[in-house]
Amino acid sequence: MKWSGTVLSSTRRGWGVGVAALLLGALSWVAPAAAQSPSIVVASTTSTEQSGLFGHILPEFSKASGIAVKVVALGTGQAIDMARRGDADVLFVHDKAAEEKFVADGFAPRRFDVMYNDFVLVGPKADPARLRGKDIVAALQKVAATQAPFVSRGDKSGTHAAELRFWQQAGADKGAGYKECGCGMGPALNMAAATGSYLLADRGTWLSFKNKADLAVLVEGDPRLFNPYGVMRVSAAKHPHVKSAEAQQFVDWVISPAGQAAIASYKINGEQLFFPSAAR
């Protein structure tokens, strides 16, 4: 007699029921295990990712908390937009004015200082625009006067926002050599290295950047180049689906002595990239 694939014998039916029961039992065991591995999304800047800082500190947080972290690295403006939409649980960026507005608009209960570094103006070692020094505003005025090539991130990042403030303070037209790449810090540095252009960079990404080519730091030490970072838990009142408890654990850890020590311990060639600034 020919067997039809649409009909199961009692033996086969019993075997199928047994397998189904085993699978259900396995699933009932796996589900609690998965529930024991919470995760959060952190919207942050490209500088924290491309400098290698997150690769250094996040494993320590996950080990201490059991919480996995997914980082979405964007320009600060884009990261803030992402958090405003409720697509992130934590915001970790470096444009204090925009961060304070984020809090004032109700998208985070509070902003915390977490760390700082500084911006530097880099350019060809030969410095054809002769702008080497400590005054960022005077340097940009020389860039404009000489029509020197200048690469801007042009991506609404914290670095881009700072650069635009400095241009405004310089009161000068940016000049024909000014180009926006609409890209992160690493690609912008690559473009400057390839074209012999000037560029404003955060020191952390500069120190970790491998393709320096003929570039060098030409302007540093101006107090206006101070670059503070803030961290915030996205408001559950605005977005009830965010993982508020886990996000708060991250904020609490990164401003704690353990988190601050992890930030301070991150160095490249013996040079510290970020400096803790959380209030004690």
pLDDT of residue 277: 96
pLDDT of residue 230: 98
Q: Are residues 71 and 147 both part of a single domain?
A: no
CA distances, 258 to each of 61, 204, 276, 278 (Å)? 9, 21, 11, 12
Summarize pLDDT for 122-172 with one digit per residue, the tens: 999 999 999 999 999 999 999 999 999 999 999 999 999 999 999 999 998
Euclidean distance between CA atoms 181 and 51, whole angstroms: 19
Is the CB of residue 242 less than 8 Å from the CB of residue 234? yes
Summarize pLDDT for 57-84 with one digit per residue, the tens: 999 999 999 999 999 999 999 999 999 9
Closest to 163 (Cα-Cα) out of 146, 147, 140, 183:
140
Give me the number of domains the chain comprises. 2
CB atoms within 10 A of CB 168: 11
Q: Are residues 236 and 215 both part of a single domain?
A: no
pLDDT of residue 36: 59
Q: Is residue 209 part of a domain?
A: yes
Closest to 92 (Cα-Cα) out of 265, 255, 225, 261:
255
Q: Are residues 215 and 266 both part of a single domain?
A: no
pLDDT of residue 17: 39
Q: Are residues 125 and 218 both part of a single domain?
A: yes
CATH code of the domain in which 187 resides: 3.40.190.10
Q: Are residues 201 and 233 both part of a single domain?
A: no
pLDDT of residue 22: 36
Q: Are residues 102 and 233 both part of a single domain?
A: yes
pLDDT of residue 2: 33
Which residues span the domain enclosing 108? Answer: 39-116+227-276
Q: Are residues 196 and 173 both part of a single domain?
A: yes
pLDDT of residue 125: 97
Euclidean distance between CA atoms 136 and 145, whole angstroms: 14
Euclidean distance between CA atoms 230 and 95, whole angstroms: 8
Bridge partner residues of 124 (DSSP):
215
Which residues of the chain have a pLDDT value below 70? 1-36, 280
